[in-house]
């Protein structure tokens, strides 16, 4: 793959945008029609459109941020990840709370923002807000303002793990440990699959207790942590060993066939996960050049992800879902994209300008994250420090 992937010219931004919009589209059925998300029936409960998109996010996240960790070191990497996640999240929570306070109580709205500020959702609703929407009725009259936030705590956890591994020198000097962690996570998935045979080939992960409490994270579902962690580590391993991963259209076609077959006939988590990861990374390397420009300078994917759910709830509360599902999806996508654009230009990009801040004076020539003209170069555009070596296995 190393001969096909260019950190400066790839479709990762385009794919992330597509995945964010796929989450929005997948949520439109329960949020706008009170029906199950597409894909659950086809996959016999293994996954749906939204779940597949989240799975893809974790693969691409592992691939991208591992290059950043190898290049930056642990402290700078952690600083960059915080700037990428929290300013946009805090403004989203604050804006949601201010709007919700007009219809509920500002006390409940303020608690919603404060209790979710660290990325671990502790409060899903605000009073009875949205309890009479299609999704509210589907869940028995509960208030859910932003259900998409559930995945942030898991992503932040794996960022923390990667930070610790970087601090220990694993990413630069002992990348084989990432392969061992990936293999260990896969062993859990394989064990779950084998334990349910011969009763059914369809793995539907069940709660296996919680991991924690962890400072700042709280308690995390162990099963979800391992399953999403495996996808994250697949992406990380592909980044570190991209010189060992072939990129060929026949392999991509085989991966697509395996993905569809496992979704339909079972073994999705043990065979479909690696197929999905390969397919996404192959697409990032081989999609046409026009896709390389999308998301390169304006990354709306995160904003779409965090604003889509509350925007769709507002659309449902306003009765837009009565216009029909296609109109509901189009209106939700348009409104969410506008909010994501505002988030990027007014919050996220200004926050990211602080990523080069340091308490010490340093010359630009000493900073690998600036090009020769002194302009900032994004994480996705930079060549990782872990270069292919003939003797590396």
Taking the C-alpha atoms of residue 155 and residue 80, their distance in angstroms, rounded to an integer, is: 14
pLDDT digits (tens, 9 = 90+) for 195-249: 888 888 887 766 667 777 777 777 888 899 999 999 999 999 999 999 888 888 9
Q: Is residue 390 part of a domain?
A: no
Q: Is residue 7 part of a domain?
A: no
Q: Is residue 3 part of a domain?
A: no
Q: Is residue 217 part of a domain?
A: yes
Total domains in the fold of the chain: 1
Q: Is residue 148 part of a domain?
A: yes
Q: Is residue 4 part of a domain?
A: no
Range of the domain at 284: 12-381
Q: Is residue 388 part of a domain?
A: no
Per-residue pLDDT of the chain (393 residues; tens, 9 = 90+): 766 778 888 999 999 999 999 999 999 999 999 998 999 999 999 999 999 999 999 999 999 999 999 998 899 999 999 999 999 999 999 999 999 888 888 888 999 999 999 988 888 999 889 999 999 999 888 899 999 999 999 999 999 999 999 999 999 899 999 999 999 999 999 999 998 888 888 877 666 677 777 777 778 888 999 999 999 999 999 999 998 888 889 999 999 999 999 999 999 999 999 999 999 999 999 999 999 999 888 999 999 999 999 999 999 999 999 999 999 999 999 999 999 999 999 999 999 999 888 654 443 344 444 443 444 444 434 333 333 333 333
Q: Is residue 2 part of a domain?
A: no
């Amino acid at each position: 793959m190393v001969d096909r992937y260019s950190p400066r010219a790839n479709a990762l931004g385009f794919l992330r945008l597509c995945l964010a919009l796929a989450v929005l589209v997948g949520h439109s059925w329960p949020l706008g029609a009170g029906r199950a998300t597409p894909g659950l029936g086809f996959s016999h409960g293994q996954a749906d459109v939204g779940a597949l998109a989240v799975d893809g996010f974790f693969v691409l996240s592992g691939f991208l941020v591992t290059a950043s960790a190898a290049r930056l070191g642990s402290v700078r990497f952690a600083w960059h990840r915080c700037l990428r996640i929290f300013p946009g999240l805090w403004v989203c929570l604050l804006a949601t709370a201010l709007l919700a306070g007009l219809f509920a109580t500002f006390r409940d709205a303020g608690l919603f923002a404060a209790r979710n500020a660290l990325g671990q959702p502790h409060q899903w609703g605000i009073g009875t807000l949205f309890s009479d929407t299609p999704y509210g009725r589907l869940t028995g009259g509960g208030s859910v303002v932003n259900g998409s936030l559930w995945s942030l705590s898991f992503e932040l956890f794996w960022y923390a793990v990667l930070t610790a591994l970087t601090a220990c020198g694993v990413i630069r000097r002992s990348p084989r440990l990432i392969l061992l962690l990936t293999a260990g996570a896969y062993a859990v998935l394989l064990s779950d699959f084998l334990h349910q045979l011969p009763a059914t080939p369809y793995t539907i992960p069940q709660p296996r207790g919680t991991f924690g409490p962890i400072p700042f994270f709280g308690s995390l579902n162990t099963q979800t942590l391992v399953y999403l962690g495996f996808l994250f580590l697949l992406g990380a391993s592909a980044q570190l060993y991209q010189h060992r991963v072939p990129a060929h259209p026949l392999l991509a076609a085989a991966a697509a066939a395996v993905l569809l077959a496992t979704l339909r006939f079972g073994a999705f988590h043990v065979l479909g996960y690696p197929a999905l990861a390969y397919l996404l990374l192959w697409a990032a390397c081989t999609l046409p050049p026009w896709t390389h420009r999308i998301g390169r300078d304006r990354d709306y994917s995160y904003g779409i992800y965090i604003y889509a759910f509350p925007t769709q709830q507002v659309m449902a509360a306003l009765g837009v879902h009565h216009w029909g599902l296609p109109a509901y999806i189009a209106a939700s996508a348009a409104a969410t994209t506008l909010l994501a654009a505002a988030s990027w230009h007014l919050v996220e990009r200004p926050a990211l300008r602080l990523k080069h801040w340091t308490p010490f004076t340093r010359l630009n020539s000493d900073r690998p994250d600036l090009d020769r003209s002194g302009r900032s170069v994004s994480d996705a555009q930079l060549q990782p420090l872990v270069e292919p070596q003939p003797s590396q296995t």
